[in-house]
Each structure stands twice: as structure tokens, then as C-alpha cells.
Amino acid sequence: MSESDVGAVKRGFWAKLRKHAGKVPFVRDAIASYYCMLDAATPLWVKGILAGALVYFISPVDAIPDVIPVLGFTDDATVLTGAIAAVGAHLKPEHYKPMD
């Protein structure tokens, strides 16, 4: 994980989420992944996986363009789901608390 990946996520995450919030079915997991990535207690390798998945989410270039109705976020959801499957044990209840 590079600082530029984390910086890219910090700069683009909330803007992308606000723009597409009604279309993104995985909002809670995306936000929890964001907070987990920023958590000082999260291991570096976990931060790297989450940063990669979140960079993919905010990237304007991906396998299925986000502007395609219904299918647009399936690739983003797949990448994030895979990341969470790999590091899900590190997503703690406090990473979800900002949404409660």
C-alpha cells in the first residue's frame, strides 16, 4: 500500500459515495472498509487490500462503467466483497459505528 493509494481514497471516496449513494448497494461495507483502512490498529497488509478495493471503487475507469444502469457497480461490489472476504475479521464493530 502506498501513501498515494490512501491519499487517492481520502480525496475521492466521499465524493463518489455522495454522487452514487442511491445506486451503491454495498454502502455500509464500503464505509466500514474506509474506516478500517484508516484505523491505526489495522495491520498494514489489511490496509493495502482495502485501499486497493477502494481505489478500484473510486476509479472512473473500471471493467463495467458505473453509468450503466443495474450492472454499473457489480464489478465494484465484486472487488469489495473479495477484499472483505480476505480481511473481514479485521472489520470491527467500531468501523460500522459512524453509520449507526
The reported pTM is: 0.84
Amino acid 22: pLDDT: 79
Number of independent structural domains in the chain: 1
Amino acid 68: pLDDT: 77
- Print the domain residue range for 19: 3-99
pLDDT at 53 over 80: yes
Residue 60 CA from chain centroid, whole number: 14
Please write the tens of the pLDDT for every residue from 26-48.
889 999 999 999 999 999 999 99
